[in-house]
Amino acid sequence: MKTYKQFIIEANAARELDEGIMTAGAKVIGKVLPKVVKALKPAKNVAKKSVFAVTRRMGIGPKFKAQTTTGLRGLTGKTRNLYHGTSSDIAKRAQLRGLSSRTSEVGSRGMQQTINDWEKYAKKTGDKTFKRPYYERGRAYVTTDKFDAETYARKTADLKNKGFFRRIGLRKKVEPVIMKVGVPKKDMRVAKMAGKEYTVATKNIQPKSVEKVGGKLSDESRKQAGYDKLRKDRLSKETNPFSRRQIERSWGGSSDKK
């Protein structure tokens, strides 16, 4: 039989062994855990972005915020409130995801270049008057004229409502709306009509409010008046015969057709 002294010695030895194991385990965990957390961080970020992407597509989640990093080109200085005419479904999506590019579409402009191409061109030619074009990729159109924005909204809604699924009633018809947006003045590039139309990088356009277009979608007199106005404005700035024919076809109004 063990004496009391032997029991005490063995208990102390067992306790010291346990403490040694725990200390060694803590050291191993302290070294390994930060590496595991660092390794899992990309997966965590991907999962977070995936959740945001899904929720935004479902029409829920945080609203879009334009980039405001100090020092980046076009993001410092004063801002202006302008208008963007579109359809109700696009406006709803823009509140969550921002506006999509309208200068990257096929046929949106006869010439499509990327930002690197233009920088390379300027560097190679040494052209000191070089300016980035308004139709560079990743930009959307805005205007100072609210009536023009209404006309663009009506045209967009009309085109969408002519789609097959909307015509047979499987998809809800859209309405024309005018979005008020905030844009940095330094990133405004004069577009098709000087003093009225501009393009701005989509990441710099901050949606503010959405307003339904006055009158009904079937209000042909107001719609045609808008088409007439845009056609006259465009033709007054365009001298190329081919471009003039395209304008007349796109914005055929009820008067002054040639």
pLDDT digits (tens, 9 = 90+) for 219-232: 778 888 888 888 88
Q: Which residues of the chain have pLDDT under 50?
A: 47, 51, 69-74, 109-111, 254-258
Q: What pLDDT was estimated at residue 178?
A: 95
Containing 99, the helix (H) or strand (E) segment is: none
Q: Which amino acid is residue 166, in one-letter code?
A: R
Residues 5-14: contacts with CB under 8 Å, at least 24 apart: none
Residue with tokens 């595991």: 36
Q: What pLDDT was estimated at residue 256?
A: 45
Q: What pLDDT was estimated at residue 53?
A: 54
CA distance 27 to 39: 19
Q: What pLDDT was estimated at residue 239?
A: 84
Q: Return the bridge partners of 219, or none.
A: none
Could you give the strand order of the β-sheet that contains 206-212, starting from the edge strand earlier in sequence? Answer: 189-190, 197-201, 139-143, 79-87, 176-184, 206-212
Our CA angle for 207, 93, 209, nearest 5°, is 30
Q: What pLDDT was estimated at residue 50?
A: 55
Q: Where are the domains of the chain?
A: 1-36, 79-218
**pTM for the full predicted model:** 0.67
